[in-house]
Protein backbone atom coordinates (compact mmCIF):
# COMPACT_ATOMS: atom_id res chain seq x y z
CA UNK A 1 0.00 0.00 0.00
CA UNK A 2 1.29 3.46 -0.93
CA UNK A 3 1.01 6.63 1.14
CA UNK A 4 1.60 10.23 0.11
CA UNK A 5 3.90 12.43 2.14
CA UNK A 6 4.27 16.21 1.95
CA UNK A 7 7.08 18.42 3.25
CA UNK A 8 8.00 22.07 2.77
CA UNK A 9 10.66 24.45 3.98
CA UNK A 10 11.40 28.17 3.63
CA UNK A 11 14.92 28.81 2.37
CA UNK A 12 16.48 32.28 2.35
CA UNK A 13 18.05 31.92 -1.08
CA UNK A 14 16.95 32.40 -4.68
CA UNK A 15 15.35 29.44 -6.41
CA UNK A 16 18.33 29.03 -8.75
CA UNK A 17 20.60 28.42 -5.78
CA UNK A 18 18.17 25.94 -4.18
CA UNK A 19 17.81 24.07 -7.47
CA UNK A 20 21.58 23.82 -7.78
CA UNK A 21 21.90 22.40 -4.26
CA UNK A 22 19.17 19.87 -4.98
CA UNK A 23 20.60 18.46 -8.18
CA UNK A 24 24.30 19.05 -8.56
CA UNK A 25 25.98 15.74 -7.89
CA UNK A 26 28.19 16.84 -5.01
CA UNK A 27 25.48 18.46 -2.88
CA UNK A 28 22.96 15.75 -3.83
CA UNK A 29 25.25 13.18 -2.22
CA UNK A 30 25.51 15.45 0.81
CA UNK A 31 21.81 15.94 1.56
CA UNK A 32 20.74 12.41 0.61
CA UNK A 33 23.21 11.05 3.18
CA UNK A 34 20.74 12.32 5.82
CA UNK A 35 18.40 9.41 5.08
CA UNK A 36 20.62 6.88 6.89
CA UNK A 37 23.46 7.03 9.39
CA UNK A 38 25.32 4.42 7.35
CA UNK A 39 24.74 6.20 4.03
CA UNK A 40 27.42 8.16 2.20
CA UNK A 41 24.76 9.65 -0.06
CA UNK A 42 23.37 8.76 -3.46
CA UNK A 43 24.44 9.39 -7.04
CA UNK A 44 22.38 10.67 -9.96
CA UNK A 45 22.66 9.51 -13.56
CA UNK A 46 20.53 11.30 -16.20
CA UNK A 47 20.81 13.65 -19.17
CA UNK A 48 18.19 15.85 -17.45
CA UNK A 49 15.73 16.09 -20.31
CA UNK A 50 11.98 15.71 -19.92
CA UNK A 51 11.03 12.15 -20.82
CA UNK A 52 14.54 10.82 -20.19
CA UNK A 53 15.57 8.03 -17.87
CA UNK A 54 17.09 8.76 -14.46
CA UNK A 55 18.87 6.54 -11.96
CA UNK A 56 19.42 7.21 -8.27
CA UNK A 57 21.84 4.76 -6.71
CA UNK A 58 24.29 4.07 -3.91
CA UNK A 59 26.93 1.44 -4.62
CA UNK A 60 25.19 -1.32 -6.61
CA UNK A 61 21.62 -0.51 -5.51
CA UNK A 62 19.12 2.18 -6.35
CA UNK A 63 16.02 3.11 -8.32
CA UNK A 64 15.20 4.11 -11.87
CA UNK A 65 12.44 5.86 -13.73
CA UNK A 66 11.44 8.66 -16.09
CA UNK A 67 11.59 12.44 -15.76
CA UNK A 68 7.87 13.14 -16.18
CA UNK A 69 8.10 16.93 -16.11
CA UNK A 70 11.02 19.36 -15.83
CA UNK A 71 10.91 23.14 -15.51
CA UNK A 72 14.44 24.23 -14.52
CA UNK A 73 14.59 26.07 -11.18
CA UNK A 74 10.86 25.52 -10.60
CA UNK A 75 9.60 21.93 -10.90
CA UNK A 76 10.85 18.35 -11.16
CA UNK A 77 8.39 15.46 -11.34
CA UNK A 78 9.87 11.97 -11.28
CA UNK A 79 8.11 8.72 -12.08
CA UNK A 80 9.91 5.90 -10.26
CA UNK A 81 9.48 2.63 -12.15
CA UNK A 82 11.42 0.20 -9.99
CA UNK A 83 14.59 -0.79 -8.15
CA UNK A 84 18.08 -1.46 -9.48
CA UNK A 85 20.19 -4.28 -8.06
CA UNK A 86 23.67 -4.56 -9.54
CA UNK A 87 22.36 -3.09 -12.78
CA UNK A 88 19.31 -5.39 -12.99
CA UNK A 89 15.86 -3.74 -13.13
CA UNK A 90 13.09 -4.89 -10.78
CA UNK A 91 9.82 -3.06 -11.60
CA UNK A 92 7.65 -2.16 -8.61
CA UNK A 93 4.86 -4.70 -8.18
CA UNK A 94 2.51 -2.06 -6.80
CA UNK A 95 2.92 0.35 -9.73
CA UNK A 96 4.89 3.53 -10.40
CA UNK A 97 5.73 5.95 -7.59
CA UNK A 98 5.71 9.73 -8.07
CA UNK A 99 8.11 12.22 -6.50
CA UNK A 100 7.68 15.97 -7.09
CA UNK A 101 9.90 18.90 -6.07
CA UNK A 102 8.46 22.41 -6.47
CA UNK A 103 10.22 25.73 -5.89
CA UNK A 104 8.37 29.05 -5.49
CA UNK A 105 10.42 32.22 -4.96
CA UNK A 106 9.14 35.35 -3.25
CA UNK A 107 11.13 38.35 -2.01
CA UNK A 108 14.47 36.54 -2.32
CA UNK A 109 13.34 33.42 -0.43
CA UNK A 110 12.24 30.08 -1.83
CA UNK A 111 9.56 27.69 -0.61
CA UNK A 112 10.69 24.14 -1.42
CA UNK A 113 7.97 21.49 -1.32
CA UNK A 114 8.09 17.74 -1.80
CA UNK A 115 5.16 15.45 -2.56
CA UNK A 116 6.08 11.79 -2.74
CA UNK A 117 4.55 8.31 -2.87
CA UNK A 118 6.15 5.96 -0.33
CA UNK A 119 5.32 2.39 0.78
CA UNK A 120 3.37 2.26 4.01
CA UNK A 121 6.15 0.29 5.71
CA UNK A 122 8.66 3.08 4.92
CA UNK A 123 6.42 6.04 5.79
CA UNK A 124 7.75 6.52 9.32
CA UNK A 125 11.34 6.41 8.10
CA UNK A 126 10.67 9.09 5.48
CA UNK A 127 8.79 11.24 7.99
CA UNK A 128 11.84 11.21 10.25
CA UNK A 129 14.58 11.51 7.63
CA UNK A 130 13.11 13.96 5.12
CA UNK A 131 13.07 16.95 7.54
CA UNK A 132 16.76 16.29 8.23
CA UNK A 133 17.49 16.25 4.51
CA UNK A 134 15.49 19.46 3.97
CA UNK A 135 17.35 21.22 6.80
CA UNK A 136 20.62 20.20 5.15
CA UNK A 137 19.42 21.58 1.79
CA UNK A 138 18.51 24.84 3.55
CA UNK A 139 21.92 25.00 5.24
CA UNK A 140 23.78 24.45 1.97
CA UNK A 141 21.65 26.89 -0.02
CA UNK A 142 21.87 29.70 2.54
CA UNK A 143 25.66 29.65 2.68
CA UNK A 144 27.17 32.80 1.23
CA UNK A 145 29.61 32.61 -1.64
CA UNK A 146 32.40 33.37 0.84
CA UNK A 147 31.28 30.54 3.13
CA UNK A 148 31.15 28.13 0.21
CA UNK A 149 34.73 29.09 -0.53
CA UNK A 150 36.39 29.17 -3.89
CA UNK A 151 35.52 25.59 -4.74
CA UNK A 152 35.58 24.74 -8.41
CA UNK A 153 32.07 23.36 -8.89
CA UNK A 154 32.83 21.94 -12.31
CA UNK A 155 35.75 20.04 -10.83
CA UNK A 156 33.49 18.60 -8.13
CA UNK A 157 30.93 17.52 -10.70
CA UNK A 158 33.63 15.84 -12.77
CA UNK A 159 35.21 14.01 -9.83
CA UNK A 160 31.81 12.67 -8.74
CA UNK A 161 31.06 11.51 -12.29
CA UNK A 162 34.44 9.79 -12.57
CA UNK A 163 33.90 7.95 -9.28
CA UNK A 164 30.58 6.68 -10.60
CA UNK A 165 32.29 5.43 -13.76
CA UNK A 166 35.04 3.65 -11.80
CA UNK A 167 32.40 1.88 -9.68
CA UNK A 168 30.53 0.93 -12.84
CA UNK A 169 33.69 -0.63 -14.33
CA UNK A 170 34.06 -2.76 -11.21
CA UNK A 171 30.38 -3.73 -11.21
CA UNK A 172 30.66 -4.68 -14.88
CA UNK A 173 33.62 -6.94 -14.05
CA UNK A 174 31.78 -8.93 -11.37
CA UNK A 175 28.57 -9.00 -13.40
CA UNK A 176 30.53 -10.53 -16.30
CA UNK A 177 31.89 -13.18 -13.89
CA UNK A 178 28.37 -13.97 -12.72
CA UNK A 179 27.36 -14.41 -16.37
CA UNK A 180 30.48 -16.55 -17.03
CA UNK A 181 31.54 -14.17 -19.80
CA UNK A 182 35.35 -14.32 -19.96
CA UNK A 183 35.51 -12.14 -23.07
CA UNK A 184 33.58 -9.33 -21.39
CA UNK A 185 35.76 -9.58 -18.29
CA UNK A 186 38.97 -9.33 -20.33
CA UNK A 187 37.64 -6.35 -22.31
CA UNK A 188 37.52 -4.31 -19.09
CA UNK A 189 41.32 -4.57 -18.60
CA UNK A 190 44.08 -2.56 -20.20
CA UNK A 191 46.11 -4.40 -22.84
CA UNK A 192 48.81 -5.10 -20.22
CA UNK A 193 46.42 -5.53 -17.29
CA UNK A 194 47.00 -8.12 -14.57
CA UNK A 195 44.47 -10.25 -12.68
CA UNK A 196 45.45 -11.95 -9.40
CA UNK A 197 42.94 -14.56 -8.31
CA UNK A 198 41.72 -15.80 -4.94
CA UNK A 199 44.27 -18.64 -5.00
CA UNK A 200 47.15 -16.43 -6.13
CA UNK A 201 46.91 -17.30 -9.83
CA UNK A 202 48.24 -14.46 -11.98
CA UNK A 203 47.14 -13.69 -15.52
CA UNK A 204 48.78 -10.97 -17.60
CA UNK A 205 47.24 -9.20 -20.58
CA UNK A 206 43.75 -9.35 -22.06
CA UNK A 207 44.38 -12.51 -24.07
CA UNK A 208 45.66 -14.58 -21.15
CA UNK A 209 42.94 -13.27 -18.84
CA UNK A 210 40.23 -14.27 -21.30
CA UNK A 211 41.79 -17.69 -22.00
CA UNK A 212 42.47 -18.72 -18.42
CA UNK A 213 39.21 -17.44 -16.95
CA UNK A 214 37.42 -19.05 -19.87
CA UNK A 215 38.91 -22.39 -18.81
CA UNK A 216 37.52 -21.88 -15.32
CA UNK A 217 34.05 -21.30 -16.71
CA UNK A 218 34.38 -24.27 -19.06
CA UNK A 219 35.21 -26.73 -16.31
CA UNK A 220 33.39 -25.32 -13.28
CA UNK A 221 29.97 -24.08 -12.35
CA UNK A 222 31.18 -20.96 -10.57
CA UNK A 223 29.59 -19.16 -7.62
CA UNK A 224 28.03 -15.70 -8.02
CA UNK A 225 29.54 -12.57 -6.52
CA UNK A 226 27.83 -10.24 -4.07
CA UNK A 227 29.79 -7.07 -3.39
CA UNK A 228 29.97 -3.76 -1.56
CA UNK A 229 32.31 -0.92 -2.50
CA UNK A 230 34.25 0.48 0.43
CA UNK A 231 36.22 3.31 -1.19
CA UNK A 232 37.21 4.96 -4.44
CA UNK A 233 40.41 7.00 -4.14
CA UNK A 234 41.95 9.09 -6.91
CA UNK A 235 45.74 9.10 -7.07
CA UNK A 236 45.69 11.32 -10.15
CA UNK A 237 43.02 12.70 -12.47
CA UNK A 238 43.40 9.56 -14.58
CA UNK A 239 44.27 6.94 -11.94
CA UNK A 240 41.96 5.57 -9.24
CA UNK A 241 41.93 2.72 -6.72
CA UNK A 242 38.70 1.01 -5.71
CA UNK A 243 38.41 -1.20 -2.61
CA UNK A 244 35.50 -3.57 -2.03
CA UNK A 245 34.39 -6.59 -0.03
CA UNK A 246 32.79 -9.58 -1.74
CA UNK A 247 31.03 -12.80 -0.92
CA UNK A 248 30.07 -15.72 -3.12
CA UNK A 249 26.84 -17.69 -3.33
CA UNK A 250 27.49 -21.29 -4.50
CA UNK A 251 25.42 -22.71 -7.37
CA UNK A 252 22.01 -23.87 -6.20
CA UNK A 253 22.41 -22.17 -2.80
CA UNK A 254 20.91 -19.03 -1.30
CA UNK A 255 23.48 -18.26 1.39
CA UNK A 256 26.98 -16.82 1.13
CA UNK A 257 29.88 -19.20 1.72
CA UNK A 258 32.03 -17.44 4.39
CA UNK A 259 35.15 -19.33 3.26
CA UNK A 260 35.01 -17.47 -0.07
CA UNK A 261 34.72 -13.95 1.38
CA UNK A 262 37.38 -11.67 -0.05
CA UNK A 263 38.80 -8.16 -0.16
CA UNK A 264 39.12 -6.92 -3.72
CA UNK A 265 41.09 -4.00 -5.09
CA UNK A 266 41.26 -2.67 -8.62
CA UNK A 267 43.65 -0.05 -9.91
CA UNK A 268 42.06 1.73 -12.84
CA UNK A 269 43.43 4.11 -15.45
CA UNK A 270 41.51 6.30 -17.87
CA UNK A 271 42.30 5.51 -21.50
CA UNK A 272 40.63 7.41 -24.33
CA UNK A 273 37.88 8.54 -21.97
CA UNK A 274 37.16 5.03 -20.62
CA UNK A 275 38.19 3.60 -17.24
CA UNK A 276 40.15 0.35 -17.64
CA UNK A 277 41.50 -2.06 -15.05
CA UNK A 278 45.30 -2.16 -14.82
CA UNK A 279 45.38 -4.47 -11.79
CA UNK A 280 42.80 -6.68 -10.12
CA UNK A 281 43.71 -8.17 -6.73
CA UNK A 282 41.52 -10.73 -4.94
CA UNK A 283 42.59 -11.43 -1.34
CA UNK A 284 40.88 -14.04 0.91
CA UNK A 285 39.18 -12.42 3.91
CA UNK A 286 40.17 -15.15 6.36
CA UNK A 287 40.93 -12.90 9.37
CA UNK A 288 42.92 -15.71 11.05
CA UNK A 289 42.24 -15.91 14.77
CA UNK A 290 39.35 -13.41 14.50
CA UNK A 291 36.25 -15.45 13.64
CA UNK A 292 33.99 -12.62 14.78
CA UNK A 293 35.26 -10.50 11.86
CA UNK A 294 34.39 -13.30 9.42
CA UNK A 295 30.88 -13.42 10.90
CA UNK A 296 30.48 -9.63 10.71
CA UNK A 297 31.52 -9.51 7.06
CA UNK A 298 29.27 -12.43 6.16
CA UNK A 299 26.31 -10.72 7.82
CA UNK A 300 27.05 -7.46 6.01
CA UNK A 301 27.28 -9.15 2.62
CA UNK A 302 24.20 -11.27 3.31
CA UNK A 303 22.26 -8.07 3.93
CA UNK A 304 23.43 -6.78 0.53
CA UNK A 305 22.34 -10.03 -1.10
CA UNK A 306 18.90 -9.89 0.48
CA UNK A 307 18.22 -6.21 -0.19
Give the model confidence (pLDDT) of 123-134 as tens digits.
Answer: 998 999 999 999
Chosen domain end from 95, 125, 151: 151
Fill in the DSSP letter of residue 250. -
What is the SS3 assignment for 7? strand
CA dihedral angle for residue 125, residue 130, residue 131, residue 134, rounded to 10 degrees: 170
Q: What is the span of the domain harbouring residue 253? A: 155-306
Chosen domain end from 151, 181, 196: 151
| Band of residue 152 on the pLDDT scale cut at 50, 70, 90 | very low
Is residue 12's pLDDT more than 80? Answer: yes
Q: Say which CATH number the domain at 145 has.
A: 3.30.530.20
pLDDT of amino acid 36? 74
For residues 129 and 211, membership in a common domain is answered with: no
For residues 63 and 192, membership in a common domain is answered with: no
For residue 195, count other CB atoms closer than 10 A to its CB: 24
For residues 189 and 64, membership in a common domain is answered with: no
How many domains would you assign to the chain?
Answer: 2
pLDDT tens digits for 65-104?
A: 999 999 999 999 999 999 987 667 889 998 999 999 999 9
For residues 120 and 211, membership in a common domain is answered with: no
pLDDT of amino acid 148? 52
Q: Say which CATH number the domain at 217 has.
A: 3.10.450.50
CA distance 96 to 81: 5
| Band of residue 202 on the pLDDT scale cut at 50, 70, 90 | very high
For residues 90 and 164, membership in a common domain is answered with: no
pLDDT tens digits for 102-120?
A: 999 998 899 999 999 999 9
For residues 300 and 188, membership in a common domain is answered with: yes
pLDDT > 70 fraction of the chain, expressed in percent and rounded: 92
For residues 136 and 236, membership in a common domain is answered with: no
Is residue 144's pLDDT more than 70? Answer: no
Mean pLDDT value of segment 211-230: 93
For residues 139 and 181, membership in a common domain is answered with: no
Mean pLDDT value of segment 13-24: 93
For residues 99 and 170, membership in a common domain is answered with: no
Mean pLDDT value of segment 13-27: 91
For residues 236 and 280, membership in a common domain is answered with: yes
Q: How many helices (H) and strands (E) does the chain have?
A: 8, 14
Distances in Å between the Cα of 247 and the Cα atoms of 3, 226, 301 are 36, 5, 6
CA distance 220 to 87: 25
For residues 25 and 37, membership in a common domain is answered with: yes
Task: Name the burial class of residue 161, with classes exposed (0-12), middle (13-18) and buried (19+) by CB atoms within 10 angstroms of its CB.
Answer: middle
For residues 210 and 135, membership in a common domain is answered with: no
Chosen domain end from 94, 127, 151: 151
CA distance 250 to 273: 36
Amino acid sequence: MMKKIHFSIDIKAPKERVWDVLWNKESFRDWTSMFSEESEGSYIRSDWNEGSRFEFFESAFGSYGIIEKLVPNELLLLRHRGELTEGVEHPYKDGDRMEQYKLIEKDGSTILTLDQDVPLEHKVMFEKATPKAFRRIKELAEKTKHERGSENVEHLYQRDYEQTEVEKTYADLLTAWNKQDAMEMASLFTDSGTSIGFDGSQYHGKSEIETEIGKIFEHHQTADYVWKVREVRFLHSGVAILRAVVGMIPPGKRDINPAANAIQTITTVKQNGVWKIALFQNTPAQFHGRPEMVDELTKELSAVSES
